[in-house]
Amino acid sequence: MSQETLLGIDVGGSKIELVAYRVAASGPQAMEAVFRKRVATPTQQLSAFVQAVAELVQEAEDALGLQACAVGIGLPGLRDGQTGLQISSNVPCLHKQPVVELLEKRLVLPGQNRRLAFGNDCQCFALSEAHGGAAAQARSMFGAILGTGAGGGFCADGRLLRGAQGLAGEWGHMAVPARLALHYQLPLVACGCGLQGCLETYVSGSGMRRLHQFFTGKICEPAAIAAAAEAGDAGARHTLDCYFDLLGYGLAQLVLVLDPEVLVLGGGLSQMPLMYQRLPGAMRPHLFAQVQPPQVLPPRFGDAGGTRGAALLVLPS
C-alpha cells in the first residue's frame, strides 16, 4: 500500500512541535508518528521564528531521507482575511505580520512542489478528533474548545469547514442572550476581540472563574468550584447553574446552525466529568421541543492532537 509522509507543526506560545506522520494513501485513519521534535518558540523576532520552523522541517526530512514533504502548520490566533496579517496575541513577533506569506516563501523553494496548509489550533483540534479521534464514527462533528478562550471547528465527512475568512467555528464571540444576561443580572464584559458580552467571557475556563467571583466574591479554579458545588455550597451551585445555562445556550445555537452528530470538547474544562453529565440536559431548554441534543464526548487526543490536526490540514478539502 502506498504511503505519504505528512509533517504537522503545532505553534504554541512557548513551544513549536513538529511530528512527521506516515499516512496510508487510502486514508488518514491510521497515522503513525515517525519523527518528532520540539523547540522553544522564538517570540520576539519574526525572522528567528521563520528560521526555527524551516530548520525543523529540514531536520525531519534529513532524518527520514525525504524531500518536499507536505507540511501543515497550526498557528495561534487568526489570519485577517483582507490583509493576510496574523492576529496572534500570545506570540508577539507574529502579531500583525504576514506570517503565512513569509513561511510560504521560506518553505517552498523555486521549482519545488511542496504542499503547505495553515490553520489555527481550534481547526487542528477538530480535524484530529474527526479523523481517528473521539468523533471517528460520526459523519459530522463540532470540536468545541473550552480553555483560556472558547473556540472550535466543524468537520463534515472528515473535511473541515473553514468559511470564507477562516472564521467558521468562532462560536465564543456570539453574544450572551439578553434574557439570560437579565435573568442572572450578568455584567457585560469586554472581550479580547473588541466586542462586549461575548459568550467566551462567561463559558471559558476564565469565564467560569469570573462568574464565580461575580456571584460569590471568591476567586476559585473550575475544579474547586465543582468540588464546592458537590459538597453543597450554594454559591458554587449557583455559579454552575448559570454557567451550564449559558454554555447550553451557546452549544444549542451550534446545533441549530450546523446540527453536528457529536460534540467533542477540548481544552482544560474538557477534563471535568461534570461537562458530560450536565451539558446534554443544559442544551435541551434552548432547543425546540422535539430536537435531541447531540452526544457530548471527551476528546481522544485533546491538546496532544495539535500536530496530528496540523498534518491533516494538508488533506484536500
Residue from 93, 155, 198, 242 that binds Zn ion (CB under 5 A)? Answer: 198
CB of 21 or CB of 171, closer to Zn ion: 171
How many residues in the shown chain lie near Zn ion by CB under 5 A? 5
The nearest distance, CB 155 to Zn ion, in angstroms, is 23
CB of 28 or CB of 197, closer to Zn ion: 197
CB of 204 or CB of 239, closer to Zn ion: 204
Place of cell 496532544: 304
The nearest distance, CB 191 to Zn ion, in angstroms, is 3
Residue from 193, 224, 258, 287 that binds Zn ion (CB under 5 A)? Answer: 193
283, 275 contact by CB (below 8 A): no
The nearest distance, CB 78 to Zn ion, in angstroms, is 12
The nearest distance, CB 149 to Zn ion, in angstroms, is 9
DSSP 186-202: ---PBPTTS-BSBTHHH
CB of 99 or CB of 203, closer to Zn ion: 203
CB of 64 or CB of 195, closer to Zn ion: 195
The nearest distance, CB 170 to Zn ion, in angstroms, is 8
CB of 148 or CB of 216, closer to Zn ion: 148
The three-class DSSP label of residue 267 is: coil
Please give the residues from 239 up to 298 whose contact with Zn ion meets the rule CB under 5 A: none
The nearest distance, CB 198 to Zn ion, in angstroms, is 3
Cell of 18: 513538529
Instruction: Determine, following the binding rule CB under 5 A, whether residue 189 of this chain makes contact with Zn ion.
Output: no
Cell of 100: 503565512
Q: What Cα–Cα distance (Å) separates residue 63 from each residue in 49, 118, 284, 309?
A: 21, 24, 52, 22
Name, in order, each residue with C-beta under 8 angstroms of 315's C-beta and a sequence gap of 6 or more: 28, 158, 159
CB of 33 or CB of 190, closer to Zn ion: 190
CB of 53 or CB of 78, closer to Zn ion: 78
Number of residues that this document lists for the chain = 317
Instruction: Determine, following the binding rule CB under 5 A, whether residue 191 of this chain makes contact with Zn ion.
Output: yes
The three-class DSSP label of residue 32 is: strand
Residue from 39, 52, 195, 287 that binds Zn ion (CB under 5 A)? Answer: 195
Instruction: Determine, following the binding rule CB under 5 A, whether residue 87 of this chain makes contact with Zn ion.
Output: no
Burial class, 77, CB count within 10 angstroms (exposed 0-12 / middle 13-18 / buried 19+):
middle
Instruction: Determine, following the binding rule CB under 5 A, whether residue 210 of this chain makes contact with Zn ion.
Output: no
Closest CA to 294 of 143, 174, 191, 129: 143
Please give the residues from 148 up to 187 whose contact with Zn ion meets the rule CB under 5 A: 173
> 27-40 and 3-11: which strand pairing?
unpaired
Could you tell me what percentage of the chain is helix, strand and coil, using 3-state DSSP and rounding each to the nearest 5? 40, 25, 35
Which residues are at the interface with Zn ion (CB under 5 A)? 173, 191, 193, 195, 198
